[in-house]
Amino acid sequence: MIHAIHSQATGYQEQRFFNLQGLDGISPPQIGEHLALYAGYVRQVNVLNDQLAALRAQGRASGRDAEFAELTRRLGFEYNGMILHEYYFSSLRAGSDPRPPSGSPIALALAEAYGSVEAWQTDFRAIGGMRGVGWVLLCQDPSTGRLTNHWITLHQDGVPAGFKPLLVMDVWEHAFMRDYAATERGRYIDAFFRNVAWPAMDRRLREPCAVRPASAA
């Protein structure tokens, strides 16, 4: 299992991602710092769920209760911070090609949506290079099968509800600033594409709806 496992007794637990060894252009120290940040999101999800449960037990589940309202707002940020990082880490593996294999399911789907894999990648990279911190997601609308790229800012802002994530790229500075300068995001994006686990994209594409990374890896 490579996602944050949840149980009623212990809540979510951060997972190990053994696929992250030997990445090209993304160093072990960079990965180590990033995983520690991910672990913080897992801890915060558990803390917030416990705090909200305590407030509900006290009869304080009210939109007018300032503490209940603020913790509820924060929960979306922390939950998506955990989940998006799991998709990101499980999207990587060493020894990959910068583009999906010709004729693979994901290559065919990208060509259908954007005209070519190259055109899709140009669009995805352009979104990743926009000013500001955030994420880039390649998603599929399960209702239509259409593939689209999306910019996500503060984890919970901009996620298309019900869409299925296929590829997730973190472009917050914490994802690359041990290896690259703040002005070198483009070099990091180049490195990201040298490590995309395209078979994982094929598996996610086959799923009828969005699934957590453990089910798609």
Question: How does pLDDT run across 72-102, given as a tens digit for each residue?
Answer: 999 999 999 999 999 999 999 999 999 999 9
- 3-class state of residue 171 by DSSP: coil
Q: Does 9 have pLDDT greater than 70? A: no
Question: What is d(CA 57, CA 69) in angstroms, rounded to the nearest whole number?
Answer: 15
Q: Is the pLDDT of residue 1 over 50?
A: no
pLDDT at 10 over 80: no
In this model, does residue 68 exceed pLDDT 80? yes
What are the tokens at 16? Answer: 């190990």
| Topology given in CATH for the domain delimited by 105-210 | minor pseudopilin epsh fold (3.55.40)
> Of 2-11, 28-37, 177-186, which range is least confident?
2-11
Q: For residue 125, name the pLDDT band (cuts at 50, 70, 90).
A: very high
What pLDDT does residue 213 have? 60
Residue 52, C-beta contacts closer than 8 angstroms, at least 6 positions apart: 68, 71, 72, 75
Burial class (CB in 10 A: 0-12, 13-18, 19+), 123: middle
Confidence of residue 28 (pLDDT cuts 50, 70, 90): very high
Q: Are 178 and 33 in contact (CB under 8 A)?
A: yes
Short-list 4, 3, 21, CA closest to 213: 3
Identify the pLDDT of residue 162. 84
Q: Is 148 helix (H, G, I), strand (E, B) or coil?
A: strand
- pLDDT confidence bin for 195, thresholds 50/70/90: very high
- pLDDT at position 6, please? 52
Domain range summary for the chain, segments of one domain joined by +: 5-15+27-90, 105-210
The contacts of residue 68 (CB under 8 Å, 6+ apart) are 52, 55, 60, 61, 62
- Higher per-residue confidence, 215 vs 84: 84
Write the CA distances from 192 to 52, 72, 142, 195, integer angstroms: 37, 33, 26, 5
**Count of beta carbons in the 10 Å neighbourhood of residue 40:** 15
Strands 11-13 vs 135-140: parallel, antiparallel or unpaired: unpaired
Q: Which residue has the tokens 């180049």?
A: 190
* Percent of the chain at pLDDT exceeding 90: 81
